[in-house]
Amino acid sequence: MVASATSFSAMLAMTTLASGVNGHGYMSAPAVTFLSSSTDNTQFIAIIESSASGFSGTFSGSPADNTAAFTTAFDSSSYTSLKDLITSLTTVTVTDATLTCGSCDPDETAQPLPDTYVEWSHSSTEGFTSSHEGPCEVWCDDVRVFQDDDCAADYTTAPAELPYDRDACLGASTLTFYWLALHSSTWQVYVNCAPLESTTSTGATSKYAVSGTSSGATSTSTNSTSITSTSSSATASSSASSSYNFNTDLATSSSASTSSDAASSTATTTNAPATTTAAPTATTAATTTSPGTSKCSVRRRRD
């Protein structure tokens, strides 16, 4: 009987651990809305096996050691950004999720740009899960406006507050967040996105921009494609998906995190800006090319 009770306790503990293994956060500012098919709004959408990454180094140590090894390997690679790496190596395994928006609805109501910080939350008391060290980036359309090599270690508030280059986002139609959690040799990929309210570009550049990206749109972003889609589908979408909220949705997210993220079909979504200039060579004179900051040369150093 003692052995049976012990075995049952062990099984219960393993089940409890498994139920929380997938869910580790979502973008809370700007607010996001999740697809109705999302069973866990905080889960990662894909994994990358370090052994298949082409990176040299050991990735089975502590989260901090894994992150240091990743940073060294990344700096020696041909990837220009975390977004570039994720786009190149990731195969989405969550139903209807995409590499451009994760499980978020690209046709949700357009959101205002945050005044100072893009925010990431896991619960009312946690931003990044502390053990999930690794790099993260924020992009406005095709311009990187924030980057850090170890977001969980460097931004520890709840919610985590990421000081992005807001001025470089003016004129953009979509803000996207990328995060790679490196706490084990199986890397977890997180992607969230939010369509943005119409703003007018000032031509400002971002210190986080990578070579080959423009400084932002040279015309007023109207979100005509995204918002038109929103106006025609928001009513149906809103009944099937809702913004994640600490007080009302946390329990649903926690209970849903037991769901499997087995491979399934990936829906194709398009959230490209309607009037944002497509490439640096096609931009008007008002656009200036961002200073070349190869790879992740702009980083926040920890004390």
Three-state secondary structure of 9-50: HHHHHHHHHHHCCCECCEEEECCCEECCCCCCCCECCEEEEH
pLDDT number for residue 22: 52
Better-scored residue on pLDDT, 19 or 173:
173
Task: Domain of residue 81: give its range.
Answer: 23-240+272-282
* Averaged pLDDT, 258-262: 37
Percent of the chain's residues with pLDDT above 70: 62
Q: What pLDDT shows up at residue 181?
A: 97
| Domain presence at residue 292 | no
pLDDT in tens, 61-119: 999 999 999 999 999 999 999 999 999 999 999 999 999 999 999 999 999 999 999 99
Mean pLDDT of 12-29: 59
At residue 219, the pLDDT reads 38
Could you tell me if 60 and 299 are in contact, meaning their C-beta atoms sit under 8 angstroms apart?
Answer: no
pLDDT at residue 213 tops 70: no
212 band by pLDDT with thresholds 50, 70 and 90 = low
| Structural domain includes residue 165 | yes
d(CA 52, CA 189): 14
Choice among 41-50, 181-190, 225-234, 290-299 with the minimum mean pLDDT: 225-234
Residue-level pLDDT at 286: 40
pLDDT more than 90, % of the chain: 60
Helix (H, G, I), strand (E, B) or coil at 138: strand
pLDDT at 133: 97
In a domain, 289, yes or no: no
In a domain, 27, yes or no: yes
- How many domains are there within the chain? 1
Nearest to 50 by CA among 191, 183, 179: 183
* Cα dist from 18 to 39, 43, 141, 186, whole Å: 15, 12, 35, 16
Query: Does the pLDDT of residue 226 top 60, yes or no?
Result: no
- Mean of per-residue pLDDT scores for the chain: 75
Average pLDDT over residues 231-237: 40
Mean pLDDT of 240-257: 38
Residue 5 domain flag: no
pLDDT of residue 259: 37
pLDDT at residue number 24: 85
55: in domain = yes
pLDDT score at 197: 99
| Per-residue pLDDT at 166 | 98
